[in-house]
Amino acid sequence: MKLRLHQFLSKCGAFSSKKDVKQAIWSGDITVNGNIVKHIAFEFNPAKRTVMYRGTELNLPETNVYFLLNKPVGCICSRLNSQESELEKQSVYELFRDSVSASVYESLVTVGRLDEDTTGFLLVTSDGDLVNRITKPEKRVDKSYRVESLDLISEDQLISLRKGVEIVVKDHGSTETYHTLPATVELEHEYCAIVTINEGKKRQIRRMFTSIGNEVKHLHRLSTEGMILEDYNLQPSEFCSISLEEIERLVFRS
Which residues are catalytic, by number? 115
Rounded-to-10 torsion of CA 76, 77, 82, 83: -40
Question: Hey, what amino acid is at 135?
Answer: T
- Per the CB < 8 A criterion, the answer to whether 67 and 126 are in contact is no
**Would you say the C-alpha torsion 91, 122, 11, 101 has a positive or negative sign?**
positive
Question: Hey, what amino acid is at 180?
Answer: T
For residue 129, the surrounding DSSP H or E stretch is helix 128-135
8: phi then psi, degrees, rounded to nearest 5: -60, -45
